[in-house]
Amino acid sequence: MVDVEGLASEMLESVEMGCPVHPWTMAARAGYVVRVGPARYPAMTLGPTIVVPDHRDERRAFAVLHELAHATLRNAGLPDPETTVDLVASAALLPRAAFLRDVERTGGNLHALKRLHPHASYEAIARRLVAVCGGAVTVHDVGPRGHRSRTAGAPRRLGALARSLVLEAHHGGEVVGPDEARAYPIKDGAWSRVVLVTR
Ligand SMILES: [Zn+2]
Protein backbone atom coordinates (compact mmCIF):
# COMPACT_ATOMS: atom_id res chain seq x y z
CA MET A 1 0.00 0.00 0.00
CA VAL A 2 1.26 3.44 -0.95
CA ASP A 3 2.03 5.91 1.87
CA VAL A 4 -0.75 8.28 0.92
CA GLU A 5 -0.26 10.76 3.77
CA GLY A 6 3.52 10.79 3.31
CA LEU A 7 3.25 11.50 -0.41
CA ALA A 8 0.71 14.22 0.26
CA SER A 9 3.04 15.96 2.75
CA GLU A 10 5.90 15.68 0.28
CA MET A 11 3.71 17.28 -2.34
CA LEU A 12 2.90 20.19 -0.03
CA GLU A 13 6.45 20.63 1.27
CA SER A 14 7.98 20.64 -2.20
CA VAL A 15 6.03 23.83 -2.99
CA GLU A 16 6.01 25.24 0.57
CA MET A 17 2.23 25.15 0.81
CA GLY A 18 0.53 25.67 4.18
CA CYS A 19 -3.17 25.75 5.10
CA PRO A 20 -5.57 26.51 3.60
CA VAL A 21 -4.19 24.55 0.66
CA HIS A 22 -4.53 26.44 -2.60
CA PRO A 23 -4.10 23.99 -5.51
CA TRP A 24 -3.68 26.67 -8.20
CA THR A 25 -0.78 28.24 -6.30
CA MET A 26 0.76 24.79 -5.84
CA ALA A 27 0.60 24.16 -9.58
CA ALA A 28 2.17 27.55 -10.33
CA ARG A 29 4.97 26.94 -7.81
CA ALA A 30 5.60 23.50 -9.33
CA GLY A 31 6.05 25.21 -12.71
CA TYR A 32 2.69 24.41 -14.33
CA VAL A 33 0.29 26.66 -16.15
CA VAL A 34 -3.36 25.75 -15.48
CA ARG A 35 -5.94 26.20 -18.20
CA VAL A 36 -9.67 25.57 -18.09
CA GLY A 37 -10.91 23.29 -20.86
CA PRO A 38 -14.35 22.03 -21.89
CA ALA A 39 -16.43 20.48 -19.11
CA ARG A 40 -16.88 17.20 -20.97
CA TYR A 41 -13.17 16.29 -20.96
CA PRO A 42 -11.35 14.93 -17.93
CA ALA A 43 -8.39 16.76 -16.42
CA MET A 44 -5.06 16.11 -18.11
CA THR A 45 -1.44 17.20 -18.05
CA LEU A 46 0.17 18.17 -21.35
CA GLY A 47 3.83 18.97 -20.76
CA PRO A 48 3.93 22.01 -18.47
CA THR A 49 0.19 22.64 -18.84
CA ILE A 50 -2.59 21.24 -16.68
CA VAL A 51 -6.00 21.38 -18.31
CA VAL A 52 -8.98 21.09 -15.98
CA PRO A 53 -12.64 20.78 -16.99
CA ASP A 54 -14.85 23.82 -16.63
CA HIS A 55 -16.67 22.84 -13.44
CA ARG A 56 -17.33 24.80 -10.29
CA ASP A 57 -14.30 26.17 -8.41
CA GLU A 58 -13.78 23.40 -5.88
CA ARG A 59 -13.98 20.68 -8.50
CA ARG A 60 -11.45 22.47 -10.66
CA ALA A 61 -9.15 22.90 -7.67
CA PHE A 62 -9.41 19.18 -6.93
CA ALA A 63 -8.67 18.36 -10.57
CA VAL A 64 -5.48 20.46 -10.35
CA LEU A 65 -4.40 18.53 -7.25
CA HIS A 66 -5.32 15.27 -8.94
CA GLU A 67 -2.93 16.06 -11.80
CA LEU A 68 -0.19 17.10 -9.36
CA ALA A 69 -0.72 13.82 -7.50
CA HIS A 70 -0.22 11.87 -10.76
CA ALA A 71 3.13 13.61 -11.21
CA THR A 72 4.14 13.00 -7.57
CA LEU A 73 3.42 9.27 -7.82
CA ARG A 74 5.21 8.92 -11.14
CA ASN A 75 8.23 10.86 -9.89
CA ALA A 76 8.38 8.47 -6.94
CA GLY A 77 8.41 5.56 -9.39
CA LEU A 78 5.02 4.37 -8.18
CA PRO A 79 2.01 3.23 -10.18
CA ASP A 80 -0.68 5.90 -10.40
CA PRO A 81 -4.14 4.36 -10.72
CA GLU A 82 -7.00 6.83 -10.39
CA THR A 83 -8.15 5.65 -6.96
CA THR A 84 -4.67 6.13 -5.44
CA VAL A 85 -4.28 9.48 -7.18
CA ASP A 86 -7.57 10.67 -5.67
CA LEU A 87 -6.52 9.53 -2.19
CA VAL A 88 -3.23 11.43 -2.43
CA ALA A 89 -5.00 14.53 -3.80
CA SER A 90 -7.55 14.39 -0.99
CA ALA A 91 -4.81 14.01 1.65
CA ALA A 92 -2.95 16.99 0.17
CA LEU A 93 -6.07 19.15 -0.02
CA LEU A 94 -6.87 18.55 3.65
CA PRO A 95 -3.56 17.73 5.37
CA ARG A 96 -4.12 15.26 8.16
CA ALA A 97 -2.56 17.01 11.19
CA ALA A 98 -4.03 20.43 10.44
CA PHE A 99 -7.37 18.92 9.48
CA LEU A 100 -7.60 16.92 12.72
CA ARG A 101 -6.92 20.10 14.72
CA ASP A 102 -9.66 21.87 12.78
CA VAL A 103 -12.09 19.00 13.35
CA GLU A 104 -11.41 19.22 17.08
CA ARG A 105 -11.81 22.98 17.06
CA THR A 106 -15.09 22.93 15.14
CA GLY A 107 -16.57 19.73 16.54
CA GLY A 108 -16.52 18.40 12.99
CA ASN A 109 -19.04 20.99 11.80
CA LEU A 110 -18.96 20.92 7.99
CA HIS A 111 -19.88 24.57 7.53
CA ALA A 112 -17.10 25.69 9.89
CA LEU A 113 -14.60 23.35 8.21
CA LYS A 114 -15.58 24.72 4.82
CA ARG A 115 -14.78 28.27 6.00
CA LEU A 116 -11.31 27.06 7.06
CA HIS A 117 -10.74 25.16 3.80
CA PRO A 118 -12.42 27.26 1.13
CA HIS A 119 -10.88 25.42 -1.83
CA ALA A 120 -12.26 22.04 -0.76
CA SER A 121 -15.85 21.08 -1.61
CA TYR A 122 -18.26 20.06 1.14
CA GLU A 123 -18.16 16.57 -0.24
CA ALA A 124 -14.34 16.45 -0.20
CA ILE A 125 -14.35 17.68 3.41
CA ALA A 126 -16.99 15.13 4.42
CA ARG A 127 -15.06 12.29 2.77
CA ARG A 128 -11.83 13.35 4.45
CA LEU A 129 -13.64 13.60 7.79
CA VAL A 130 -14.74 10.01 7.43
CA ALA A 131 -11.29 8.89 6.23
CA VAL A 132 -9.47 10.35 9.25
CA CYS A 133 -12.14 10.11 11.96
CA GLY A 134 -14.21 7.12 10.85
CA GLY A 135 -17.92 7.03 10.13
CA ALA A 136 -19.72 7.35 6.84
CA VAL A 137 -20.92 10.05 4.50
CA THR A 138 -23.78 10.25 2.03
CA VAL A 139 -24.36 13.19 -0.30
CA HIS A 140 -27.94 13.82 -1.42
CA ASP A 141 -28.55 16.17 -4.28
CA VAL A 142 -31.87 17.50 -5.40
CA GLY A 143 -31.42 19.53 -8.53
CA PRO A 144 -32.99 20.47 -11.84
CA ARG A 145 -32.55 16.94 -13.11
CA GLY A 146 -33.80 15.15 -10.07
CA HIS A 147 -32.22 13.33 -7.20
CA ARG A 148 -28.88 11.64 -6.92
CA SER A 149 -26.88 10.38 -4.01
CA ARG A 150 -23.34 9.20 -3.49
CA THR A 151 -21.99 7.27 -0.62
CA ALA A 152 -18.68 6.47 1.05
CA GLY A 153 -18.64 3.80 3.73
CA ALA A 154 -22.41 4.03 4.23
CA PRO A 155 -25.10 1.44 3.62
CA ARG A 156 -26.73 1.74 0.22
CA ARG A 157 -30.15 2.19 1.74
CA LEU A 158 -30.56 4.74 4.48
CA GLY A 159 -32.38 3.92 7.69
CA ALA A 160 -35.58 5.73 8.58
CA LEU A 161 -33.87 8.22 10.91
CA ALA A 162 -31.23 9.15 8.33
CA ARG A 163 -33.87 9.58 5.64
CA SER A 164 -35.97 11.88 7.77
CA LEU A 165 -32.91 13.97 8.75
CA VAL A 166 -31.99 14.43 5.08
CA LEU A 167 -35.53 15.55 4.23
CA GLU A 168 -35.69 17.88 7.21
CA ALA A 169 -32.36 19.50 6.26
CA HIS A 170 -33.46 19.86 2.64
CA HIS A 171 -36.70 21.56 3.56
CA GLY A 172 -35.70 23.54 6.64
CA GLY A 173 -32.25 24.64 5.48
CA GLU A 174 -30.83 24.08 8.98
CA VAL A 175 -28.27 21.63 10.31
CA VAL A 176 -30.19 18.85 12.02
CA GLY A 177 -29.49 15.65 13.91
CA PRO A 178 -27.46 14.35 16.84
CA ASP A 179 -23.66 13.91 16.82
CA GLU A 180 -23.99 10.37 15.47
CA ALA A 181 -25.99 11.37 12.39
CA ARG A 182 -25.91 15.00 11.33
CA ALA A 183 -27.38 16.42 8.14
CA TYR A 184 -25.87 19.60 6.64
CA PRO A 185 -27.89 21.51 4.03
CA ILE A 186 -25.80 23.17 1.32
CA LYS A 187 -27.08 25.60 -1.29
CA ASP A 188 -25.12 25.36 -4.49
CA GLY A 189 -26.63 27.22 -7.42
CA ALA A 190 -29.66 25.31 -8.67
CA TRP A 191 -28.79 22.35 -6.49
CA SER A 192 -29.88 21.77 -2.97
CA ARG A 193 -27.49 19.34 -1.41
CA VAL A 194 -27.52 17.60 1.93
CA VAL A 195 -24.40 15.95 3.27
CA LEU A 196 -25.18 13.38 5.92
CA VAL A 197 -22.28 12.42 8.22
CA THR A 198 -22.79 9.39 10.42
CA ARG A 199 -20.20 8.33 12.96
ZN1 LIG B 1 -6.18 10.89 -13.33
CA 42 to centroid of ligand 1, rounded, Å = 8
Tell me the average confidence (pLDDT) per consecutive run of 10 residues in the chain, 199 residues long: 93 96 97 94 94 92 96 96 95 96 93 95 90 87 67 71 88 91 84 85
CA 174 to centroid of ligand 1, rounded, Å = 36
CA 150 to centroid of ligand 1, rounded, Å = 20
pLDDT for res 140: 85
pLDDT for res 162: 84
pLDDT for res 120: 95
CA 175 to centroid of ligand 1, rounded, Å = 34
Q: What's the rounded Cα separation, in Å, for the pair 126 and 115?
A: 13
| Cα dihedral: 78, 23, 46, 33 (round 10) | -140
CA 176 to centroid of ligand 1, rounded, Å = 36
Domain regions of the chain by residue span: 1-133, 135-199
CA 17 to centroid of ligand 1, rounded, Å = 22
CA 69 to centroid of ligand 1, rounded, Å = 9
Number of helices (H), then strands (E), in the chain: 8, 7
pLDDT for res 72: 96
Fold of 135-199: Profilin-like (3.40.1840)
Question: What CATH number does domain 1-133 carry, 1.10.3470, 3.40.190, 1.10.1740, 1.10.10?
Answer: 1.10.10
Task: Give the residue from 121, 130, 94, 114 showing the smallest Cα distance to 19.
Answer: 94
66 touches 86 (CB < 8 A):
yes
CA 93 to centroid of ligand 1, rounded, Å = 16
Rg (CA), the chain: 17
